[in-house]
Structure 1
């Protein structure tokens, strides 16, 4: 049986990508970064974050 991916918070994403939280907030506002609201909280799936990073780097290569 496959285990379901856990939701993580901003701190986890910040550590995962090695960027500060303000960078993540800016990406959410300006670059369609994959974030989900749970009330006032932001939650993330690291698989979606990793896919966004891969897509963003691919997009930048074509510019």
Structure 2
């Protein structure tokens, strides 16, 4: 039987796992290089890649250069 622990997760599943909204997940993909893989029009995630990214501080807020430059 296939190991379902290592399956690809959807945006809804990864957002529930992380306790954030789907909009936050999309923002992290765009602005914080969240590890995500595009499959057609859908984004898919590997839980272990996301865990590593979070532990490395990937989801931490960073100052946006466009807001600080005048």
Name the TM-score, length of structure 1 as normaliser: 0.81
Q: How many residues align?
A: 58
Which consecutive aligned stretches of 4+ in structure 1 deviate over 6 angstroms post-superposition? none
Is there any run of 5+ residues in structure 1 with no aligned partner, and where?
Answer: none
- For residues 18-38 of structure 1, the C-alpha deviation after alignment (integer angstroms, 9 at most, x for no partner) is 000111111000000000000
User: What is the aligned-residue RMSD (CA, Å)?
Assistant: 2.3
Is there any run of 5+ residues in structure 2 with no aligned partner, and where?
Answer: 62-70
The structure having more radius of gyration, on CA atoms, is: 2
